[in-house]
Structure 1
Amino acid sequence: MPGSLTASVVNVLLTAVARAGADPRRLVGETRLDVAGVPVPGSRVPAEAVTELWNRAARAVGDPDFGMNLGLSYEPGRFALLDFLFLSSGTLSEAFGSVVRHIDLVTTGGSYEMSTSGDLVTLTRRMPAMDENRHPASAALGWQLTLARAAVGAPVRPVSIGMAMPAPPRHRDLAAAYGTKLIEFGQDANTLTFRRRDLDRPLLGADPALAALLRRTVSRLRHGEGRPWRDRVRSFLAAGLDHDRATLRAAAHSLALSPRRLQQLLHEEGTSWRQELEAERARLAVELLSGTGMPVAAISARLGYADVRAFRRAFRRVHGRTPQEYRSSIA
């Protein structure tokens, strides 16, 4: 499945795995996520690796309806900006429309559409390799219904549901969970169909001012997509450094790239990961030494160095003195 997903999707999935008694870090280690442990917040992860994680997770917890159950137990707000765009909208129709327009905040790949036919409104989510994506597709249906129910504070029942997966031997549980007996399997996409009047229902948390603010935030994020890779790496570094984040691999995952590709892009802009990392460390080291009373050892850890000696050597190379000497000189 081409594209990428935000770390928030992975973290929701791994939280469900842990609650079911399985080991989330072991599952991550068995997949192509290629990171040690849980992806850092704000990063993006290759979608094919997450698809593999979904399927392994379902087997690990022994739940054939893992995706459906996760979606229906979803806690609104876990997808941050996208959820808040939904919940602050005026009506369910506006809320679903905002998700359709901004689904790439959470996942890229496939398509998401909203169409009207007479008195019916249909949401259509197409994903590559739908057979492989049965669990995430079922979770997406549950996520939409859970958000809708939370937003209006009452059951929201679709007229019908279409599912790309083959029909299971029994699907009574699906019908009860999704709130409709009309479920059509073997479709070319997953669909939710509602009556138009049901989508005209006002939302409990409708907040036009907040909704406008969130849309401006999305616009700023969109504008930043064309920034040079050097600036994107600097933004990643400025968001905080520690031992896990101060690596090329962590930065590459945050940008949905391979480490090798990120190095190539930085080289084309006349810099490198090592240059950017050391420049940010040098800047932040001076800031912490002069503006805080943090011990040198704590600053070393904050900057992601393996030990204090490595920090001292790096600082002396840039500033011609040790961190302690620098701090004494400005006291």
Structure 2
Amino acid sequence: MDGLDLALLPRLIISGSGLDPEPIARQAGIPVWVLHTDHARIAGDRYLRAWELVEHGAERDDIALLIAERYVVGALGLYDYLFITASTLWDGMAATGSYMTTISTNWRFEPAEETDREISFTVHLNTGEGRGADLAMQFGIAGAFSRARTATGRPVNPVRVALRQPAPRHHAAFHTFFQTGQVDFDAPADTVTMRKSDLELPLLGADSLLAKILRHQAENLPPLPVRNTWLDEFRRLLRDSLMTGPTIETVAAHLATSPRTLQRRLAAHGTTWREELDRVRRSEYHRMRPAGLNSLARRLGYSDARSLSRANRRWQTG
């Protein structure tokens, strides 16, 4: 199975580049609506393609390091919060390693060689190659140190960084970001070596109770997440809009499209706005039936209980 990445990843790098997100998303084969949700997953090769386009658009070969520097911890949702609520830097890294699938199924971050004072970690990109993979790896490692520096409030730097990718023309940006002279290229594996004393640093946002809740949430996520389709996301937004009064204009805006385009896309899926609204209301009606009729009507976006009663009679005879 090809790797999957949470939509938060391409959104973070595209927004961090300062470029117009929609053209990049389209060229990368990422539906624009994906940039407006936290939950959809995309094929890993599309995330790597987004990196290639971002570098081309920004015209900077150090763009991955720049985006890592701009990275605001929390932008990766549950994955980030599992880290920053841990007690120490080591515990935070262990949490993100254990629950990597909350953000991607395409990466692994594992301990490797160890001495009395240092420990090395190997970073694996399961599938993917080319320039997009090179940039994603740069960001993956650099982003981990941005997060560590923010979470500890300390200048956490690696002892050594080794990358399998070819050496760039200029190394200065790597030495400046990592604050080490030992950045090697054309290495046999992608690795980073850290001081054990740094791994013992406490995290500023440590919260044992919240960390326990977040770990429970991570453990109960589907182990092999499925890819969200456009129709799945449309139906979720439609369901969420019921109580506030579902309109095609509102849902279209959330999908970053026009009502007319939304109607065309629904037609391409063999359905219509009215059919989908009726389907979602019917599904929610059966799920919430113990509630009173007036309450149900409000929660399903009907003007009154009589409208809901008429719809219910139609569902029973349809």
Asked if TM exceeds 0.5, the reply is yes
The equivalences for 1:50-69 within 5 A come to 50-69=47-66
Q: Distance in 2 between matches of 1:5 and 1:287?
A: 42
Give yes or no for contact 1:234–1:280 (8 Å, CA) kept in 2.
no
> 1:223–1:2: structure 2 CA closer, same or farther, 3 Å change rule?
closer
Q: How does 1:20-169 map to 2 (within 5 A)?
A: 22-35=19-32, 38-119=35-116, 120-127=118-125, 128-132=127-131, 133-169=133-169
| TM value normalised by structure 1 | 0.71
Aligned 8 A contact 1:86 1:99 in 2: yes
Q: What residue in structure 2 maps to residue 265 of structure 1?
A: none
Question: Quick one: distance in 1 between partners of 2:275 and 2:136?
Answer: 39
Corresponding residue SS for 1:202: coil
Deviation at 1:174, TM superposition (A): 0.8
Do the aligned partners of 1:130 and 1:165 also contact (CA within 8 Å) in 2? no
CA deviation vs aligned residue, 1:84-125 (integer Å, no higher than 9, x gap): 111111111111111111111111124321235123212221
Q: Distance in 1 between matches of 2:299 and 2:79?
A: 37
Alpha-carbon distance in 1 for matches of 2:93, 2:38: 25
One-letter amino acid of the structure 2 residue matched with residue 75 of structure 1: V
Could you tell me which runs of 5 or more consecutive residues in structure 2 were left unpaired when the two chains were aligned.
227-231, 242-249, 256-273, 286-292
Q: 1:105 to 1:277 in 2, by over 3 A?
A: farther
- Maintained 8 Å contact 2:235/2:276: no
Say if 2:84 and 2:203, in contact at 8 Å, map to a contact too.
Answer: yes
Tell me the CA shift for residue 200 of structure 1. Answer: 1.0
Deviation at 1:39, TM superposition (A): 4.9
Render the CA deviation track for 1:122-179: whole Å, top value 9, x for unaligned: 2221113343311111111121001110111010011100112111122022111111
User: How far apart are the structure 1 equivalents of 2:165 and 2:45?
Assistant: 18
The residue identity in structure 2 corresponding to 1:280 is V
Distance 1:246 1:282 in 2: 22
The match for 1:280 is 280
Name the CA distance, whole Å, in 2 between partners of 1:174 and 1:14: 21
Contact 1:100 1:114 in 2 (8 A): no
Deviation of the 1:318 alpha carbon: 6.4
In structure 2, do the counterparts of structure 1 residues 48 and 277 end up closer, same or farther at CA, with 3 Å as the change threshold?
farther
Number of equivalences: 274
Separation (CA, whole Å) in 2 of partners of 1:2 and 1:81: 22
Q: Does 1:320 align with 2:283?
A: no
Question: Post-superposition shift, 1:217?
Answer: 1.1
Query: 2: distance between equivalents of 1:186 and 1:67?
Result: 18
Counterparts in 2 of 1:205 and 1:235: CA distance versus 1, 3 Å: farther
Residue 119 of structure 2 aligns to a residue whose secondary structure is strand
Q: 1:97 to 1:115 in 2, by over 3 A?
A: farther
Letter matched to residue 149 of structure 1:
R
Distance 1:97 1:70 in 2: 24
Matched residue SS, 1:320: helix
What does the per-residue CA deviation read over 1:299-327, in whole Å, with 9 as the maximum and x for residues that have no partner? Answer: xxxxxxxxxxxxx9xx9776439xxxxxx
Change (3 A) 1:292 1:110: closer
In the TM superposition, what is the alpha-carbon distance from 1:239 to its structure 2 partner?
6.1
Q: Is the 8 A contact 1:151 1:205 kept in 2?
A: yes
Distance 1:88 1:105 in 2: 16
* Of 217-226 and 201-210, the range deviating more from structure 2: 217-226
Residue 220 of structure 1 corresponds to: 220
RMSD of the alignment, in Å? 3.8
Q: TM-score, normalised by structure 2?
A: 0.73
Tell me if structure 1 keeps the 8 A contact 2:6–2:104: yes
**1:182: how far off?**
0.3
The one-letter code matched in structure 1 to 2:82 is L
SS at match of 1:67: helix
* Paired position in structure 2 for 1:206: 206
Residue range with higher mean Cα deviation, 152-161 or 164-173? 164-173
- Taking a change above 3 Å as real, the CA distance of residues 178 and 201 of structure 1, as seen in their structure-2 partners, is same
Alpha-carbon displacement from aligned partner over 1:233-283 (angstroms, at most 9, x marks no partner): 999578625645999xxxxxxxxxxxxxxxxxxxxxxxxxx9987532334
Q: Distance in 2 between matches of 1:57 and 1:63?
A: 9
Does the CA-based 8 Å contact 1:4-1:107 persist in structure 2? yes
Counterpart in the other structure of 2:12: 12
Shift in Å at residue 77 of structure 1?
Answer: 0.4
Q: Give yes or no for contact 2:74–2:80 (8 Å, CA) kept in 1.
A: yes
Aligned partner of residue 150 in structure 2, secondary structure:
helix
Distance 1:295 1:281 in 2: 9
Whole-Å separation in 1 of the counterparts to 2:300 and 2:89: 51
Following superposition, the deviation at residue 213 of structure 1 comes to: 1.2
